[in-house]
């Protein structure tokens, strides 16, 4: 049974604001491309919403979304992945979605304990994990702190872990870009502007995702501006990275903007020997959405 938070996080400006966001979320969920079950798992941090797809007999695979994106970020990937795995798309606690946090997570150990409690609630002893951006940090954190619960991990343009980009990401999302510009860059349109100046050139190279309803949900997220409760995503020490036993694949879009892709791959391999790496052509930070078929193929090959 789900917990009920008296002051749930993330906080919205009003109940009307929350209702508008949830309407956009439910519109995206209504077109979930495969049959699913929804669960609300009680944890010490609060109720965590999980969308499960695929055969219950298939190997488990947890999907952790990017900053503020919700489980709906996996809509373009879920059909391909759930054909091979029992997928669990999680609304990360403290972020927009249907999870309701009772308190803000304070450190890495609390986050690892939260994810372990989610697995317990799902009846999953061990799972592979795919994480995008902030979700990549969470996946790496889980493999570091609860190695007995993790088989393999796939990191898609992670923040933190190998090097800390958390504050740069937060700045780009919450401060620098006006809402409409941020929505354009993350949601985009198939018509690209003519690059009249360097800023427009950068926007023109951003790969717009192909999911209009996720785009509408993200536009609503930016418009309503819920107060998100997350921890910093730090760089792990070399000793921590070398101690991770779970085989790990790192994917970065060749048009990544938070860091230089080739240099990031090289740095990560130097810090974590045995790491598998690859560039995703014609993809940016949300590579799984920009190139869902190519990313799915790499994930499936690595996990099998």
Q: Is residue 258 part of a domain?
A: yes
- Give the CATH number, domain containing residue 217: 3.40.50.1820
The verdict on whether 127 is a catalytic residue reads no
Q: Is residue 276 part of a domain?
A: yes
The verdict on whether 65 is a catalytic residue reads no
To 5 degrees, how large is the angle CA 55–CA 58–CA 64?
A: 90
The pTM (predicted TM-score) of the whole model is 0.86
Domain count, the chain: 1
Q: Is residue 101 part of a domain?
A: yes
Omega into 53 within 30° of 0, i.e. cis?
no
Q: Is residue 4 part of a domain?
A: no
Residue 279 has a pLDDT of 97
Domain that holds residue 115: 15-303
Which listed residue (49, 66, 99, 285) is catalytic? 285
Q: Is residue 1 part of a domain?
A: no
How far is the C-alpha of 137 from the C-alpha of 141, rounded, in Å? 6
Which listed residue (127, 133, 144, 229) is catalytic? 133
Q: What is the DSSP letter of 269?
A: H
Question: What are the structure tokens assigned to 127, written together?
Answer: 């799972």
Residue 165 has a pLDDT of 60
Return the CA Rg of the chain: 18
Question: What are the structure tokens assigned to 33, written together?
Answer: 């491309």
Q: Is residue 10 part of a domain?
A: no
Q: Is residue 179 part of a domain?
A: yes
Region for residue 283 given its phi and psi (left: phi exceeds 0; alpha: psi -120 to 50; beta: otherwise): beta
The verdict on whether 256 is a catalytic residue reads yes
Residue 95 has a pLDDT of 93
How far is the C-alpha of 149 from the C-alpha of 161, rounded, in Å? 19
Q: Is residue 125 part of a domain?
A: yes
* Percent composition of the chain: helix, strand, coil (DSSP 3-state, to 5): 40, 20, 40
Digit-by-digit pLDDT tens for the chain (304 residues) are 444 445 677 889 899 999 999 999 999 999 999 999 999 999 999 999 999 999 999 999 999 999 989 999 999 999 999 999 999 999 999 999 999 999 888 999 999 999 999 999 999 999 999 999 999 999 999 999 999 999 999 999 999 899 876 445 444 444 344 344 444 444 444 344 444 443 344 433 445 557 888 889 999 998 988 888 788 888 999 999 999 999 999 999 999 988 889 999 999 999 999 999 999 999 999 999 999 999 999 999 999 9
């Amino acid at each position: 049974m789900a917990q009920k938070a008296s002051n749930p996080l993330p906080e919205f400006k009003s109940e009307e604001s929350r209702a508008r966001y949830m309407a956009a979320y439910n519109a995206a969920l209504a077109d979930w491309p495969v049959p699913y079950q929804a669960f609300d798992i009680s944890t010490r941090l609060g109720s965590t919403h999980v969308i499960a797809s695929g055969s219950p007999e298939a190997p488990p695979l947890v999907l952790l979304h990017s900053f503020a994106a919700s489980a709906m970020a996996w809509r373009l990937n879920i059909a391909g992945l759930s054909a091979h795995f029992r997928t669990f798309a999680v609304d990360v606690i403290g972020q927009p979605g249907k999870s309701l946090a009772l308190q803000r997570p304070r450190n890495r150990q609390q986050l690892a304990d939260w994810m372990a409690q989610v697995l317990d609630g799902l009846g999953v002893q061990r799972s592979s994990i795919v994480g995008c951006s902030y979700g990549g940090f969470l996946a790496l954190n889980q493999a570091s702190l609860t190695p007995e619960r993790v088989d393999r991990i796939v990191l898609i343009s992670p923040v933190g872990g190998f090097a800390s980009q958390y504050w740069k990401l937060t700045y780009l999302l919450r401060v620098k870009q006006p809402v409409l510009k941020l929505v354009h860059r993350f949601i985009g349109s198939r018509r690209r502007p003519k690059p009249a100046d360097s800023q427009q050139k950068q926007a023109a190279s951003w790969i717009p995702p192909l999911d209009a309803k996720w785009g509408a949900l993200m536009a609503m997220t930016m418009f309503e501006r819920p107060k998100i409760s997350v921890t910093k995503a730090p760089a792990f020490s070399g000793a921590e990275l070398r101690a991770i036993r779970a085989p790990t694949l790192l994917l970065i879009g060749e048009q990544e903007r938070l860091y230089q892709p080739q240099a990031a791959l090289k740095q990560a391999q130097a810090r974590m020997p045995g790491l598998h790496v690859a560039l995703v052509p014609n993809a940016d930070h949300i590579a799984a959405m920009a190139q869902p078929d190519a990313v799915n193929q790499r994930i499936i090959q690595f996990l099998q």
